[in-house]
Amino acid sequence: MILGFYRLLTTLGGPLIRQYLQRRLARGKEDSIRFAERLGEAGLPRPEGGLIWLHAASVGEAVSMLPVVAALQKRATVLVTTGTVTSAAMMKDRLPKGAIHQFVPVDRVAWVRRFLDHWKPDLALWVESEFWPNLLVETAKRKIPLVLLNGRISARSFRRWLKMRGFIGQLLSCFVLCLGQTEEDARRLATLGAANTACLGNLKFAAPALPADEAALAALLTELGDRPRWLAASTHAGEEALAGRVHKALAVPGLVTLIVPRHPNRGAEIAAELRGLGLNPALRSLGEPVGDLYIADTMGELGLFYRAAPLVFVGKSLIGEGGQNPLEPARLGASVLFGPHMGNFADIARRMQEAGAGIQVATERDLVAALSLRLAEPALMATEGDRAEQFASAEDGVLAAVIEMLGPWLPD
C-alpha cells in the first residue's frame, strides 16, 4: 500500500519535483551542464557488451567502491551513478579509465524508465542503504539482478523500518543478494525481509589510501617545517569553531591547526567564523600561506593533509551525528581521534578502540586533553599510527571474496 502510494505521488507530483530541482540548481546543488541526467536522459552513449551499474549515494560510498569498480572492469563496462555535485567531481578525478559516471535519475517512474531503457544494465549493485523505491522496483521488473553491497542498517533505521516491514520487505525482495557490512547488518536485513543475506566483511577496508599530488605534498611539508600540528578532517558546521577554540586552549608554541571542511564551498564562511573568535585563519583556495589556522577549502586534497598531519580528529562526530570514515587517516598511519557520534561507522569505531587504533573523546575538553597529550609525546602518536595502519589493512581479502560471490550474476 505504501509503495503504491509512493509511486502514485511521485508520478503526479512531477511539476513540484521539477520546481524543487530548479531550486537546487539555483543553489548550486545540481550540475547545470548535466542536469538532464537527473531526468533520466543519458549524457553518453551506451558502450557495446556487458554493463554493470553500481549506484552509490555520495562521496564516501562512491570512494569506498573504487576497488570494486576496478575489479569488475575485467568483466564488463562499469557505470557508476551518484547523486551529488561533489561526488561527481570526485569521480571525474578518481574513476578508473573506461568506467562511466552519470548522475542518478530522480526517483520518478518516467525518468527511471528512461535511464534503464538507455543503459540496459546486466547487473545492478547498490551500496549501503540507498533504497529508492521506483529505481529498485523498475530494475527488478526487468529481471536485472540486484545486489546490495556493504549494506548498512543502523539501529535507528532498523527501529523505523520495523514499523513499515511490509514496505521495506517489498524493496528488499528486489535483491537477489544482500551483503551486510557486519553480521548485525546482515541479521537486520534478513529480519526486514531480505531473502538471501551474508557478511563477507566491510568493503571500506578494501579502499586504497586517498591520493595526494607529490609536488603539492612536498611544498606543504616544506611550508609546515617541524611545527607541531593536528588536523580536523571532514568537519561540519560548528566543528570549525570548535577547532578554533581547541587551538586557543592548547596554547602550544608554533602549533598549526589544519581544517579540511567536508564541504569546501564553506571556506569563506568558516574563515569569518574563526575571525570572530579572534583568530587569523588562512584560506588555501586563495593561495594564502600556512598560518596558525589553515583552512583547506579545496576539492580532493584530503589525502594530502592526512599525509601531512600525524594527528587527526575525524569530523561529524562531536557536533552532528554519523561521523566520517576513520579508516582513511588510519590507512595512512595517523593517530586517530573521533567523537561519540560515529553511528555510520559504529562497528569500525568500536573495533578501532578495542585494538588501540583509535581514541574516542566525549567532549571538547576531552579533545583538548587528548591532543595535548599526543603533541607532547610524539612516540605515542607513532605507536598509535602503527596500530591504526595495521588495523586498516586487516581485511584486505574482503574484495576478492565479494567478487567471487557475485560470480553467478556477472556478465560473460
Active-site residue set:
61
Buried/exposed code over 125-138 (b: 16+ C-beta within 10 A; e: otherwise): bbbbbbbbbbbbbb
Judge contact between 99 and 42, C-beta under 8 A.
no
Please, are residues 97 and 91 in contact by the beta-carbon 8 Å criterion? no
Beta carbons of 195 and 30 less than 8 angstroms apart: no
| Burial class of residue 159, CB neighbours in 10 A (0-12, 13-18, 19+) | exposed
State the DSSP H helix or E strand holding residue 303, giving kind and residue range, or none if neither: helix 302-308
User: ∠ at Cα 221 (220, 223), nearest 5°?
Assistant: 65
Torsion, CA 355, CA 151, CA 395, CA 354, rounded to 10: 10
Cβ distance 292 to 228 under 8 Å? Answer: no
* C-alpha grid cell, residue 180: 551486510
Answer whether 370's CB lies under 8 Å from 340's CB.
no
- Name the β-bridge partners of 147: 125, 177
DSSP 127: E
| Angle, vertex CA 396, rays to CA 394 and CA 398, nearest 5 | 110
Check residue 36 and report its DSSP letter: G
Helix axis angle, 378-392 relative to 346-354, nearest 10°? 130
